[in-house]
Amino acid sequence: MQSSFFDALDALARSAPIRIDRPKGSAHPRFPDVTYPLDYGFLDGTTAVDGEGVDVFVGTNAGAGVTAVALTVDAGKRDVEVKVLMECTPGEIDEVFTFLSGTLLLGTTIIHR
């Protein structure tokens, strides 16, 4: 039986510890006046296109698993990424979208589960 995208992503997220390296309210490394709206980090032991761990935002809806993904394009870095939104409420998903598209000015699409 073939898994759906979100089922496979849930399995990956369950098998990889989440490492938060930018807690909610911490400054963005390139833009010190910008703060993260949610905890942000990566899935340890995974690899994304940039060679680093798969990026993850973690919200407050404990037990919800993967609630959405954000697809981003950074034209300046010539970079495309998938960011996993874990345990996010609808409002937190909106906050991530605003942060990525409105604050960091990344081309962003959110795909809800």
C-alpha triplet 54, 22, 20: angle, nearest 5°: 55
Q: What tokens were used for 77?
A: 């870095």
Q: Is residue 18 pLDDT above 70, yes or no? A: yes
Q: What tokens were used for 10?
A: 């849930």
pTM over 0.95: no
**What are the DSSP calls for 20-44, one per residue?**
EEE-TTPBPSS-TT-B-SSEEEEET
At 2 the pLDDT is 57
What is the set of domains in the chain, with CATH numbers? 5-112 (3.90.80.10)
Give per-residue pLDDT as tens, 51-109: 899 999 999 999 999 999 999 999 988 889 999 999 999 999 999 999 999 999 999 99
Secondary element (H or E) of residue 66: strand 66-74
